[in-house]
Amino acid sequence: MSPRRPLALVLNALAFQIGWFVCVLGGSVPAMLALALILAAHWRWLARPGEWRWWLGFALAGMAVDGTLVALGGIRLASGWPLWLWALWPLFATTLHHCLAWLWPHRWLALVCGAVGGPLSYLSGAALAGAEITTWALVVEALVWAGLCAEVSRRLGGTGGAQA
For residues 112 and 20, what is the distance between their CA atoms, to the nearest angstrom?
Answer: 21
Q: What is the pLDDT averaged over residues 105-122?
A: 97
| pLDDT score recorded for residue 82 | 84
**pLDDT tens digit string along 5-28?**
889 999 999 999 999 999 999 999
| pLDDT score recorded for residue 161 | 45
State the average pLDDT for the chain: 92
| pLDDT score recorded for residue 159 | 54
DSSP string, the chain: --THHHHHHHHHHHHHHHHHHHHHHH-HHHHHHHHHHHHHHHHHHTPPTTTHHHHHHHHHHHHHHHHHHHHTTSEE-SSS--HHHHHHHHHHHTTTTTTTTTTTT-HHHHHHHHHHHHHHHHHHHHHHHT-EE-HHHHHHHHHHHHHHHHHHHHHHGGGTT---
Rg over alpha carbons for the chain, rounded to the nearest Å, is 15
For residues 77 and 5, what is the distance between their CA atoms, to the nearest angstrom?
Answer: 39
**pLDDT tens digit string along 71-112?**
999 999 987 778 999 999 999 999 999 999 999 999 999 999
pLDDT of 2 higher than 70: no
| pLDDT score recorded for residue 92 | 98
- Which of 97, 124, 144 lies closest to 21 in space, CA to CA? 124
| pLDDT score recorded for residue 54 | 97
